[in-house]
Structures are given as structure tokens and as C-alpha cells.
């Protein structure tokens, strides 16, 4: 059996202008990065962003999932297979996905280009450096960090007493979570404790993904709160005159990237915030571009619906106005068995009782999505060891909840294996339109920050109440006093459980959800609340995936997955 990277290496991609032509884009609309990748020009993205909203009504399809397990779920694989299937049904479809971070590629999670016959290509380029967007975000972030310490060295006229803003790098490196800087004498600056985030957890990444255009990007960069003075008043990036130079670094990164699937479906791949430590969606600019060019756009939100989908509605849709017209909830027999208590080593054995027990997790996500006014279609992402009886049981359990479950075989069969899923999604879109169903938010802007956090924890995570540390309560009060009480909340927690505790599988309920720390992302436009043992700088596993990645003398990469 070929690996994903071997399948990708054997693919015969179309030149990117041929893919662009499927969306009526011309060579003038493209800024090519080699033969098979391009950015959409500034002029074209601006024209699409300012087009009359009533001129084109396209449908946005959100793909989310049950709580992830080591068994794998395959949201990207399903998303890609679904878009390919819509194309097979003669629909003008495109993808809008996040771009991968280098850290997970070299760690344990692997890349983010799908798998099997449902992939976006060229896989190696997309996973390893792509068009340099994340590198630009890293550079812009660290420029601001350097300007902060430079200002402190040369007199500190702004009276900076506490620095919030951290440096970043696009790798998993736990040794950088807390560092001492400015050591070695006065020539090297003022010594202080600092730390690194992974680049995709940088506020700059969130800003790029939520910005409407370059002007909005600069405005948001100006509003970054980098620290506070001795009077406990906020100090902004604009006080350091940093936004212009940062935007200059990001001027090309803000433009969406165009690639293709193995079946030559156009795919916009842009922005990459994680959903466990950030808001987990691709960019507003990419989504608007795709919706302006295609009739159906498939996008995804990171990790489970408790993280990615909640943030898609309460942050992405709240800010952009782009609500999904249909939601696909990905599940696997293997994941349901793990949530039912089966060890990973025993997943290939049929186990109907474990599926029934583990269905509690999928049922919780169905319930959660309905709280946003979304009626999901369940895509059962098929694995080779799944038995017919197991698959039928999942469908039966879903029917009992009033939800249609469709077997998805995108990994093995590409778009052909997702045709039934595509037909079901199209029917659901039509049904939602006929019933005038309108998705909505979980909470209103005017709700206090602590109550917003409690609303998410109790309504989505199943908690009975929320516990705040004294420091978290003080900071929430401070952010509200600064005028940021109207912002939505972005909860950073484990992706491996609906709760804060990665060991609580299934559908935990009735517990106290802890908030240990809160951070202000004023430029992005949300407040981050951290729960449990969550790090914004991941570490590498005992045996990193990097040990298996190589490249030969022809430039062919192996070992990626």
C-alpha cells in the first residue's frame, strides 16, 4: 500500500493556471509560486471582497468532527473527498482549508493535506514551506518583540512595566516555553523572563486569518496590547509605530493561496491557527475569495466540534458574517470504540457494545451543533477494518437522534467514495433553505467575559460550573475596564476530551471547568482563556516524525504523512 507522500509524488497535477481557469480566474489574477501553486492577486481579492453580496449566493459547508483520538478521524480527508465529489456531480465547488504548521509535521500529528486519494497537492510543498506565509507571520511577530525590548533599552519612554507579547517559532520546542533574555551585559538589553509560542498560536496568525484586507490587517496590528505601564494601563503596538513594518512583511502573506486536489479541484489554503490554542479556521479573505468564485465551498474547523465548530460560529462567523449553510460531522468506528473504552491496539476487532458506549461523544457533538441552529450530516469515515455490522450500527444510532449518517470512503476512492455524502449535503442545504434555518451564536456580545466562558463550558463542554483562579478573575476585570468586555472568548484546552482533562473520554458532565489564565488578543478581537494543562508551545514526542523524513538527490521528499 502506498503512503500518502508516495501517492502525492506519483500524482500528475495540472499547472496552476489550468486550475484557476475552473474558477474563471485569468493569468492576471495569479501570482505563481512555481508551476503548481499561486497566490490570488491583491486586485482580484479586493474586487471579490467588495462585490455586491446579492450578486452571488454561494453555499458554505463546514466540516467538523467528534473528539479526536489516536485512532484518527480524517476531517481534511473528508473535506477534500466531499469537494471532489461535488465536482463529480457537476457542481462548481472549491475548498478553503488551513495551511499546515511545520511543528506538527515533525512531531506526532503529521501534515494537514488529507490522505489516500483525497489529498491536496503538492503535499511536500504545502506541508514544509508552502508560500512562506507562516515564516512571514513569525518574522512580523518577532519584529514586534524586538521593538519592545529595543524600546526598553533606550529609555523606556512608554514606562513598560509588564510585557504580554511573546516571541514565536514554527516548531515544537518545549525548551522555549520560558527563557531568559537580555543576558550578557547592558549591551544586550534589559534582562527579563520571556517565552515563545508556536507561530500558529501567535496573535499575528489570528489577526491575518480574521482580517478583511491589508488596511484592516494594519488596524488590527496597531491594536495589539503588548503590555502595561506602572499605572496598569495598556500599551499598544501603535505606541511603538510597529504596524507599518509588520504589515510590509505580511503584504503577500495576506493573499490566499491556490492549489489543487488529486482530482484537480481548486483548493484555497490559507492561514493555520490551531483550534486547541487559537480559533482554528482558515482566513476570512480565503473564504470570501472562494465564495466569490465557486457555488459551493467546503471548509473545516480544527479538532472536535467543541473546539473548532464553536469557535467557527462564535469567533469566525461573528466577525465575518459567514455562517455555514450545512455542517458535516465526521466520525469513525475506531474513534467511537476508543471513546467506548477500547485500547488502540484492539481497535481492529469488531466491538458493537463499545460503539454504543462511545456514541455518547458523537451524540454530545450533535446536540452542541444544534445549539447553533445547525442540523449536521454525519460522515462516517470508513477504515479498512470496519465491519458492515459496525457501520450499520453507527447509522442506526444516528437515525435515532434524527441525523443521517453517510459512509465516506474518500481515502480509498477519492471523490467517488464521497458521492453519497455530497448528495446528502446538497439535500440538507436545500432543506435548510426551504425551512429558512439560520445559524446563530451561542452568546451575545454584551454578556460579561466570565459569563461567556461559563456559557461555553456549561452548554458545550458539559461542565456544571467554572472555577477561575484569582489571577484570571483579576485579568478579566482589567480587560473589561480597558473596554474589551464585549469581545468573544477563545478557550484554549485539550483537544482530546470535550472537557479540560484529556483522560475524560466520551461525554463527561457535571464537573468544574478550570480557567487558569486569561490573555487579551485585542488585535485579533477576542480574549483567550486557558484551561488545564494547555501549552501554546507544544513539545516533540519521544520519537518525532522528523526522524523518518528525508529527501533524495532529486528533491523527492519521503516520510511525510
Which residue shows C-alpha cell 500518502? 4
> What digits encode the pLDDT tens for the residues 265-279?
999 999 999 898 899
Catalytic residue among 274, 303, 313, 359: 303
**Are 340 and 354 within 8 A, CB to CB?**
yes
**75 among known catalytic residues:** yes
- Peptide linkage before 375 cis (omega within 30 of 0): no
**383 among known catalytic residues:** yes
Q: What angle do CA 357, 361, 363 make, to 5 degrees?
A: 95
> What digits encode the pLDDT tens for the residues 481-532?
999 999 999 999 999 999 999 999 999 999 999 999 999 999 999 999 999 8
Q: What angle do CA 119, 123, 120 make, to 5 degrees?
A: 30
DSSP state at residue 256? P
| Residue 313, phi then psi, degrees to nearest 5 | -70, -55
Catalytic residue among 85, 94, 253, 275: 275
The Cβ of residue 318 has, within 10 Å, a number of other Cβ atoms equal to 20
Which grid coordinates are listed for 40? Answer: 490570488
Catalytic residue among 39, 44, 87, 109: 109
**164 among known catalytic residues:** no
Which segments of the chain belong to CATH 3.10.410.10? 449-530
Q: How far is CA 535 from the centre of its chain?
A: 16
**77 among known catalytic residues:** yes
Catalytic residue among 39, 44, 75, 454: 75
Q: What angle do CA 220, 163, 487 make, to 5 degrees?
A: 40
Angle subtended by helix axes 133-153 and 243-250, to nearest 10: 160
CA distance 127 to 469: 38
CA distance 405 to 200: 33
Residue 160, Ramachandran bin (φ over 0: left; ψ between -120 and 50: alpha; else beta)? beta
Catalytic residue among 45, 67, 69, 77: 77
**15 among known catalytic residues:** no
CA distance 73 to 334: 8
User: 491: buried, middle or exposed (CB in 10 Å: 19+, 13-18, 0-12)?
Assistant: buried
CATH of domain 135-250: 3.30.1510.10
- Looking at residue 57, what is its pLDDT? 85
The Cβ of residue 169 has, within 10 Å, a number of other Cβ atoms equal to 18
Which segments of the chain belong to CATH 3.40.50.300? 4-131+253-434
The Cβ of residue 251 has, within 10 Å, a number of other Cβ atoms equal to 14
> What digits encode the pLDDT tens for the residues 239-261?
999 999 999 999 999 999 999 99
For domain 4-131+253-434, the question of CATH label 3.50.50.60 is answered with no
Closest CA to 264 of 124, 94, 90, 418: 94
CA distance 231 to 548: 52
Which segments of the chain belong to CATH 3.30.1510.10? 135-250
Which residues is 38 bridged to in the sheet?
A: 32, 258
The list of the chain residues with pLDDT below 70 reads 52-56
Q: Given CA atoms 386, 63, 290, 221 in this order, what sign does their dihedral have? A: negative
Q: How far is CA 101 from the centre of its chain?
A: 11
E strand spans, 450-508: 465-468, 489-492
pTM of the model: 0.96
Spatial neighbors of 109 by CB under 8 A, at least 6 apart, are none
Which residue shows C-alpha cell 468544574? 512
Catalytic residue among 39, 87, 98, 167: 98
**303 among known catalytic residues:** yes
Catalytic residue among 130, 268, 312, 411: 411
Q: What is the SS3 assignment for 82?
A: helix
Q: Where are the alpha helices (DSSP H) in 50-189?
A: 75-88, 102-106, 123-128, 133-153
Which grid coordinates are listed for 317? Answer: 462567523
CATH H-level, domain 449-530: superfamily: Formyltetrahydrofolate synthetase, domain 3 (3.10.410.10)
Catalytic residue among 165, 274, 313, 383: 383
Which grid coordinates are listed for 24? Answer: 474563471
CA distances from residue 42 to 15, 25, 28, 329, 518 in whole angstroms, order as listed: 21, 13, 11, 34, 36
CA distance 535 to 51: 41
**Are 308 and 301 within 8 A, CB to CB?**
yes
CA distance 482 to 441: 24
Amino acid at each position: 500500500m502506498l503512503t500518502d507522500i508516495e501517492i502525492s509524488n506519483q500524482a500528475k497535477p495540472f499547472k496552476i493556471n489550468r486550475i484557476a481557469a475552473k474558477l474563471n480566474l485569468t493569468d492576471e489574477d495569479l501570482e505563481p509560486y512555481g508551476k503548481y501553486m499561486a497566490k490570488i492577486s491583491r486586485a482580484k481579492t479586493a474586487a471579490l471582497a467588495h462585490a455586491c453580496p446579492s450578486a452571488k449566493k454561494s453555499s458554505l459547508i463546514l466540516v467538523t468532527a467528534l473528539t479526536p483520538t489516536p485512532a484518527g478521524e480524517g476531517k481534511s480527508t473528508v473535506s477534500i473527498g466531499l469537494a471532489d465529489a461535488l465536482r463529480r456531480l457537476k457542481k462548481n465547488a472549491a475548498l478553503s482549508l488551513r495551511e499546515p504548521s511545520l511543528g506538527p509535521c515533525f512531531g506526532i500529528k503529521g501534515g494537514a493535506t488529507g490522505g489516500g486519494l483525497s489529498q491536496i497537492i503538492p503535499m511536500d510543498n504545502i506541508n514544509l514551506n508552502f508560500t512562506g506565509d507562516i515564516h512571514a507571520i513569525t518574522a512580523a511577530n518577532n519584529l514586534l518583540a524586538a521593538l519592545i525590548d529595543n524600546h526598553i533599552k533606550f529609555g523606556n519612554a512608554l514606562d513598560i512595566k509588564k510585557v504580554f507579547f511573546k516571541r514565536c517559532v514554527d516548531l515544537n520546542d518545549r525548551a522555549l516555553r520560558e527563557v531568559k533574555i537580555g543576558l550578557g551585559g547592558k549591551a544586550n538589553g534589559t534582562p527579563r523572563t520571556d517565552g515563545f509560542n508556536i507561530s500558529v498560536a501567535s496573535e499575528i496568525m489570528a489577526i491575518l486569518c480574521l482580517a478583511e484586507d491589508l488596511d484592516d490587517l494594519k488596524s488590527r496590528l496597531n491594536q495589539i496590547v503588548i503590555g502595561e505601564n506602572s499605572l496598569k494601563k495598556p500599551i499598544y503596538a501603535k505606541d511603538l509605530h510597529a504596524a507599518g513594518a509588520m504589515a510590509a512583511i505580511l503584504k503577500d502573506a495576506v493573499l490566499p493561496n491556490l492549489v489543487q486536489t488529486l482530482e484537480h479541484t481548486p483548493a484555497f489554503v490559507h492561514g493555520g491557527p490551531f483550534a486547541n490554542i487559537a480559533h482554528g479556521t482558515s482566513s476570512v479573505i480565503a473564504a470570501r475569495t472562494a465564495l466569490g468564485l465557486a457555488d459551493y465551498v467546503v471548509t473545516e474547523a480544527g479538532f472536535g466540534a467543541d473546539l473548532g465548530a464553536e469557535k467557527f460560529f462564535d469567533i469566525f462567523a461573528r466577525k465575518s458574517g459567514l455562517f455555514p449553510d450545512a455542517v458535516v460531522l465526521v466520525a469513525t468506528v475506531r474513534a467511537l470504540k476508543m471513546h467506548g473504552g477500547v485500547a488502540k491496539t484492539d481497535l481492529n476487532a469488531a466491538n458493537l457494545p463499545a460503539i454504543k458506549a462511545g456514541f455518547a461523544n458523537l451524540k454530545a457533538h450533535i446536540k452542541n451543533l444544534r445549539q447553533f441552529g445547525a442540523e449536521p450530516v454525519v460522515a462516517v469515515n470508513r477504515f479498512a477494518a470496519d465491519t458492515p455490522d459496525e457501520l450499520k450500527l453507527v447509522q442506526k444510532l444516528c437515525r435515532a437522534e434524527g441525523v443521517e449518517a453517510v459512509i465516506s470512503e474518500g481515502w480509498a476512492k477519492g471523490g467517488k467514495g464521497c458521492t453519497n455524502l455530497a448528495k446528502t449535503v446538497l439535500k440538507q442545504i436545500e432543506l435548510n433553505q426551504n425551512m429558512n434555518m439560520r445559524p446563530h451564536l451561542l452568546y451575545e456580545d454584551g454578556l460579561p467575559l466570565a459569563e461567556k466562558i461559563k456559557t461555553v463550558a456549561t452548554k458545550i463542554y458539559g461542565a456544571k460550573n467554572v472555577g477561575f483562579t484569582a489571577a484570571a478573575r483579576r485579568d478579566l476585570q482589567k480587560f473589561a475596564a480597558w473596554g474589551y468586555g464585549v469581545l468573544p472568548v477563545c478557550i484554549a484546552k485539550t483537544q482530546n476530551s470535550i472537557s479540560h482533562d484529556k483522560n475524560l473520554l466520551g461525554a463527561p458532565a457535571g464537573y468544574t471547568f478550570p480557567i487558569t489564565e486569561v490573555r487579551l488578543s485585542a488585535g485579533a478581537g477576542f480574549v483567550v482563556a486557558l484551561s488545564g494543562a494547555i501549552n501554546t508551545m507544544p513539545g516533540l514526542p519521544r520519537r518525532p516524525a522528523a526522524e523518518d523524513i528525508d529527501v533524495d538527490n532529486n528533491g523527492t521528499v519521503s516520510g511525510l504523512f
